[in-house]
Chain A
Amino acid sequence: NAGVMQNPRHLVRRRGQEARLRCSPMKGHSHVYWYRQLPEEGLKFMVYLQKENIIDESGMPKERFSAEFPKEGPSILRIQQVVRGDSAAYFCASSPRAGAYEQYFGPGTRLTVT
């Protein structure tokens, strides 16, 4: 049973470029969460999506960040015009249904902005 997949594992972008992070949930899971982890800090919730719907984006910065989970394909977290402060590990998690709560994490994408 394949786990949560994320790619790329490492991403280097120059300031001002765009970063696209992809997440494929576990088989049978239709709920996706994105978290950001700054160096030596805990995980901070960003956004919760179901297929074609954003359910909770209370943790997303108001500008430059967007997320989607289309009917087909992976969930994508998009960061436009990246700045140095965006450098972090971005983790995706999935769960099988609303109210299940158990969330299983992918390996993360480590974004470095130079």
Chain B
Amino acid sequence: GENVEQHPSTLSVQEGDSAVIKCTYSDSASNYFPWYKQELGKRPQLIIDIRSNVGEKKDQRIAVTLNKTAKHFSLHITETQPEDSAVYFCAAGGGGGNKLTFGTGTQLKVEL
């Protein structure tokens, strides 16, 4: 089955800096890669996603890149703000049906 690895597990940045979170996946049949943001005690919220026919997607301060050959995808947050502080999860889907396989999460802390 699919296996998703996520790095780093924790990330501290200064407000205004950029943050990058990286994931790798194992199943070459996976074709859908969402990112979720989860604040403490809250539900995971879909913030951006990318499909395998696209190499990059951007939505305001958030961008995701996908390298299908290397089975890597990354989340980029620019001009970070304190409200970006949360746990971010990557996931992969589409290869083994509709289920999503999640990474272990990155705790992002944006410091003033």
Complexed CA–CA distance, A94 and B76 (Å): 26
Q: B105 contacts A103, CB within 8 Å?
A: no
Complexed CA–CA distance, A101 and B99 (Å): 8
- Residues of chain B at the chain A interface (Cβ within 8 Å): 1, 6, 32, 34, 36, 42-46, 49, 89, 93-94, 97-105
- Residues of chain A at the chain B interface (Cβ within 8 Å): 31, 33, 35, 41-45, 48, 55-56, 58-59, 91, 95, 98-99, 101-108
Q: Report chain B residues within 8 Å CB of A45.
A: 99-101
Q: B99 contacts A59, CB within 8 Å?
A: yes
Q: Report chain B residues within 8 Å CB of A107.
A: 42-43
Q: A55 contacts B43, CB within 8 Å?
A: no
Complexed CA–CA distance, A58 and B97 (Å): 11
Closest 9 CB pairs of A and B: A42-B102, A101-B32, A45-B99, A105-B43, A43-B102, A42-B104, A105-B44, A107-B43, A56-B97
Q: Report chain B residues within 8 Å CB of A106.
A: 43
* Shortest Cβ distance from residue B78 to the other chain A in the assembled complex, whole angstroms: 24
* Shortest Cβ distance from residue A49 to the other chain B in the assembled complex, whole angstroms: 11
Instruction: Pick the contact of B100: A58, A99, A103, A108 (CB < 8 A).
Output: A103
* Shortest Cβ distance from residue B73 to the other chain A in the assembled complex, whole angstroms: 14
Q: Report chain A residues within 8 Å CB of B99.
A: 33, 45, 48, 56, 58-59
Instruction: Pick the contact of A33: B49, B98, B104 (CB < 8 A).
Output: B98
* Shortest Cβ distance from residue B24 to the other chain A in the assembled complex, whole angstroms: 14
